[in-house]
Amino acid sequence: MAHPALADNPTPTVVDSARGGGRSVSFTFDDGPNPPDTLRLLDVLREHRVKAVFCLWGEHVRQHPEVVRRIVADGHTLCNHGMRHDDMATWPAERIRADLLETTAAIRAAVPGARIPYFRAPYGNWGQTPAVAADLGMQALGWRLAIGDWETPGTAELVRRLREGITPGAVVLMHDGGGDRSQTIAAVDTVIPALRSEGWRLSLPARRG
């Protein structure tokens, strides 16, 4: 049974745009929670007064529930990123549904009643996941720019990729989990004030496709 319908019902369309149009951009972070990197990122976002989306890996949520509580306490938005970061592209709907429900349950065990408005498919391999997620009250969340921070190419290179790759209305994919993400966090700390000085707004993604 699906969660009660929201005022603006999710659609099976994958959202990849930021709210507000024009020079707006949304920062999203995958594969956490991952202390100490997630905690340091939260400090950076708080310092710059930026709200982001955290796409949570269910098993990591079970390992670090206190970090999920900090994410929510700081006012950020949650996204279901699957329980074990499996490629769900070829899975039948019922298997997808079971995984998403398990992930949501893990998040809500850490933060009872947590709002989880988005789902992002691991590896961006969607298959039937957008429709299943919509039925469970979550909008599929894609991206327009992935900076390849899993390569850990150095902070300066990540800053370059952000500065040159961001386009109006882009959702940006970065990572706070899955390895040492200190370069990503340093790049975010550098890029936010630079973007703002050029008139960019940092906003959340669009609500619906």
pLDDT in tens, 83-119: 999 999 999 999 999 999 999 999 999 999 999 999 9
Per-residue pLDDT reduced to its tens digit, 141-191 = 999 999 999 999 999 999 999 999 999 999 999 999 999 999 999 999 999
Give catalytic status of residue 81 as yes or no.
no
Q: Select from 147, 177, 192, 162 the least CA-distant residue to 38.
A: 177
Q: Sorting pLDDT into bands at 50, 70 and 90, what band is 8?
A: low
From the candidates 149, 175, 176, 189, which is the catalytic residue?
Answer: 175
The pLDDT of residue 209 is 75
pTM (predicted TM-score)? 0.95
> Is residue 150 exposed (0-12), middle (13-18) or buried (19+ Cβ within 10 Å)?
middle
Domain 24-202: CATH superfamily is Glycoside hydrolase/deacetylase (3.20.20.370)
Between the alpha carbon of residue 116 and those of residues 66, 67, 76, 78, the distances in Å are: 17, 16, 11, 5
30 is catalytic: yes
- Which of 16, 30, 149, 189 is labelled catalytic? 30
pLDDT at 136 exceeding the cut of 50: yes
